[in-house]
Chains A and B, each alone.
Chain A
């Protein structure tokens, strides 16, 4: 089974890039799994995930359900797009349905992990110290969950 972990985020927006940072660390924990990173969204994701059997996404989140560094696993029920107003707004789960509607083999979504970041987003190549300090525990948590799901 071909499995992809896709880290998402912007490499010049500090904590927004936490998904990229964690995805690269996950490669060490899960060497048999492909890891890729992207700063793009929408249709670009389709290009990256096609050809895989299962995909796990790792991204920053401001869900405000928890404190910075906390990990939330999102599911298809999070699909809330009703009022699309910009081509920024192509929804991930909708994209999967779009791919299927066109007859493409689309991967199963193993999990979408949102890593809570603070409201204050600033430009920078590095994570803020408070998030960087939690990177190890975040990686362990997500890696553990992925391993469990792959084993199941």
Chain B
């Protein structure tokens, strides 16, 4: 009960932080980074942990685990995240995505997600509570770099707690213990897939700014609807047309 209350308090604090941040979806093309100095320090810390610990582990993972086994692990990790997608698709009244994600979860459940029985042919949009809050026009809030978790917008970081809490409530103690064990595997698996991109990022003149730009653009593309993309493209087009004159 106390643990639940703690998560609710954290979520409310973070949502209020994001409401105090960006003024809303009208200005969603602008970025807010009032904690830049702190974020840069945390980025430096995360980079240190990545270079000293995560990167060597991910290289060992690629070297020692065959490609087929890595693919199975990756499939399983994706399958474990489907309940979050199902829950949030339901909250967002996205019936098609709810049905497809549920069907995929049940189908691949036959192999505990290790083998993708539909060969990746079904396109499912990954959704989380952050995207649900975005649908409710909660502003994304300031940009944060969280120790170990990396870049997050405030709204999405609060959503992260809700998703974790929902998963804890839905699954049994044994599953929660397995879930905890899978977190480092997930980190190593993701690191191995993004190895080249992350190494290139570290070599750029300002890795923090580049990482922020990549994260925000990718996140907005996944979370916002057609209207945002039209506004973004229109603004970009105007900027390009001016430069072409």
Q: Do A and B bind each other?
A: no
Binding site for B on A (CB under 8 A): none
Binding site for A on B (CB under 8 A): none
